[in-house]
A = this chain, B = another copy of it.
Amino acid sequence: MTEVEGTDTRTRLLEAAADLIAATPGEDFSLRAVCDAAGVKMPTLYHFFGNKQGLVEAVVERGFDMYLSAKSSTESSGDPIQDLRLGWDAHVAFGLENPGFYTLMYGKVRPGYSPEAQSKPSEILRGLTLKAEQDGRLVVGHEQAAAHVLATNIGVTLRLVIQGKNDPELSAGVREGVLAAITGTGQSEPGDGRLGHAVIERAAANPDILGETETQLLIQWIGRLGEV
């Protein structure tokens, strides 16, 4: 072989598969079509990827890399809650821009097994919720918060991918509801000891609004309201 093609055969196969998946999101694809597009016969594909699942996993890993590189370019605000917001939006945006990849990454429902690479974004998410917990911003455990965010973020994104069009109002609404739920910015149940958490946070963070003595009094009053 004269090796006129500049790219590696394995990379060519990977890109051909990615193109086919992106071209028909949600549909199945044929290994022979991948090989034809890469100008190669099937045993070559099997040589590099073992079987179809191996190819799919390689494509998924590639998808997660794309996702992470697109995500890491935006996430830097220092505030973990704000980072969760940015991460949420980046997640939704990636899903809508790459429905084929997203389907393989998060839409595959094979009980008991989740793709390897899926752990990386989850790690980032857990890092954020852990930091938020250490900053005292959470009213639930950081694992619980991460699971909460992940499940709803995937749910909203899958929904938007299925119906094919974006709905910023829905995404933002669910996002803020979720953040409110895990930060206690919204009161979940009377009598759980967290009544007025958001008010206290805001007042304590800005004691100049009411003045220092008034702020202390406010916090004390809200505490008495919550005790009953």
Residues of A in contact with B (beta carbons under 8 Å apart): 25-27, 99, 103, 107-112, 114, 140, 144, 147-148, 150-156, 158-159, 161-164, 167, 169-170, 173-174, 176-178, 180-182, 185-190, 195-196, 198-199, 202-203, 206, 209-210, 214, 218, 221-222, 224-225, 228
Contacts and interface: CB of A to CB of B under 8 A. Distances in A.
Contact of A109 (B153, B158, B214): B158
B158 A173 contact: no
A170 B188 contact: no
Contacts of A107: 107, 109
Contact of A148 (B173, B182, B188): B173
Contacts of A228: 206, 209
B164 A158 contact: no
Contacts of A163: 114
